[in-house]
Amino acid sequence: MNNMNHENLKFENSPQATSFAWLCQAVRKIHVKARKALEAKARKEAAEKKRVELQAAHPIFSQINYWRSAVYILMLVILLAVFTLDYVLFSSTMEFFAQRVFRSPMMIQLSSVMGPAMVLTLEVGVGMQLWFARQRKAETEEWGSWVAWLTVGLFLAFVMPFLAVATALASRPEMSDANMERSFLFQTASLAILAFVGHVLVLFGGESAHGAKAYFPFQVHSQTLKVKTWTYGRSYTKRVEEMVNSYRTYLHRFERHLQSYPEPPLKQGPFDEKTRTLINEQYGYIIIPTPSGGDAGHSNGSSGSKASSASEQKIKYSWTSPGPAADRDKESPGLSNILSLHLRDQKEAQKRNEGV
């Protein structure tokens, strides 16, 4: 037993053992890189599938023409313009009322922004209900709902210009010049007209306004999935290149090992099925054949003149290919066990040569 341990220790410190250990670690690295590449590929395919499903669920947006897209963009610009106009006109009024409720400057400033935003949201909601009511009227000839929402829309459309005029008159400065007085009244009327036109477009934009509200969330989601697909595809390409480079380095060292230490004959790997398939796909031909029979954990390699004897003598190392993702970070089998088995196979090969 002590003699065996001594021989194991001697073999572990030999150049052959060092070369063999490097090959084992290289196989593990190839498996890890192959797994990362397959994970990136799976995420890319999942993002592509979600994007296809999104486009299939909204064909009107996925097949939209440039003219309709320009209309939707224009509606978005109108919404932003109306919000900006309301903020300029009513921020001071909202701050005045907010000061009576809040003492925090942050809450007062937030109220000046939230006020116009809530008014615009209310108008968008009324516009959607008006559009739905018009659709129902066309299908069922029911006028009651459409008339009710039309009345609410007109009320909001006229209220906002009145508020603009009231705000302007409340902040009217002292003016002694008649020309300045007329200029102020003209500017007030212009603001009222702008407010009326902007809010009418939001309320009665019809299908364009309704479609624009859904078109942009669709585009954001679709473009996000497109970016994910591109990112995962690039990651997959990078991981595959790393795996192929590692395999080339491993194959070069493997050939050198066979030339330096022909006994016992080694085989490539072991490589699992997914890694073999991925490497073969990159080379365009079967560089790692599928193992047959009981040698499922290994693949035939270029073992030179020892190919015939290698099929009869299976090297059963305790090394196994990495398992699923849950076992990714587990330690690989001890090197001493691998080297002991390798030493045993080496002795058996020497005895067979002596017998011949």
Instruction: Tell whether 63 is covered by a domain.
Output: no
- Same domain as 172, residue 84: yes
- Same domain as 348, residue 283: yes
318 contacts: CB under 8 Å, gap ≥ 6? 333, 334, 337, 338, 341
Domain end, chosen from 170, 204, 238, is at 204
- Same domain as 133, residue 39: no
Q: Which own/partner pairs from 126-135 qualify as long-range (CB within 8 Å, at least 24 positions apart)?
A: 126/152, 126/153, 126/156, 126/203, 127/153, 127/202, 127/203, 127/204, 127/205, 127/209, 127/210, 128/210, 128/213, 130/203, 130/204, 131/206, 131/207, 131/209, 131/210, 134/206
- Same domain as 339, residue 257: yes
- Same domain as 103, residue 43: no
Instruction: Tell whether 343 is covered by a domain.
Output: yes
Instruction: Tell whether 58 is covered by a domain.
Output: no
- Each residue of 268-326: pLDDT tens digit? 778 888 888 888 888 888 888 877 654 444 434 443 333 333 333 333 333 333 333 33
- Each residue of 254-270: pLDDT tens digit? 888 888 888 777 787 78
Instruction: Tell whether 185 is covered by a domain.
Output: yes
Task: Name the DSSP class of 90.
Answer: H
Whole-model pTM: value is 0.57
pLDDT over 60 (residue 327): no
Domain end, chosen from 156, 173, 204, is at 204
- Each residue of 86-114: pLDDT tens digit? 887 777 778 878 888 888 888 888 888 88
Q: Whole-angstrom Cα distance, residue 126 to residue 203?
A: 7
- Same domain as 183, residue 252: no
Number of domains in the chain: 2
- Same domain as 300, residue 257: yes
Q: What integer best gives the mean pLDDT of the chain?
A: 75
- Same domain as 91, residue 194: yes
Instruction: Tell whether 332 is covered by a domain.
Output: yes
Q: How confident is the model at residue 355 (pLDDT cuts 50, 70, 90)?
A: low
pLDDT over 60 (residue 49): yes
pLDDT over 70 (residue 4): no
- Same domain as 232, residue 165: no
Instruction: Tell whether 180 is covered by a domain.
Output: yes
Task: Please check whether residue 36 is in contact with residue 246, taking contact to mean a CB–CB distance below 8 angstroms.
Answer: no
For 232, counting Cβ atoms within 10 Å of its Cβ (0-12 exposed, 13-18 middle, 19+ buried), the class is buried
Instruction: Tell whether 122 is covered by a domain.
Output: yes
What is the signed CA dihedral for 50, 54, 59, 65, rounded to 10 degrees? -90
- Same domain as 332, residue 269: yes
Instruction: Tell whether 209 is covered by a domain.
Output: no
Domain around 241: 2-51+226-355
- Same domain as 109, residue 24: no
- Same domain as 97, residue 43: no
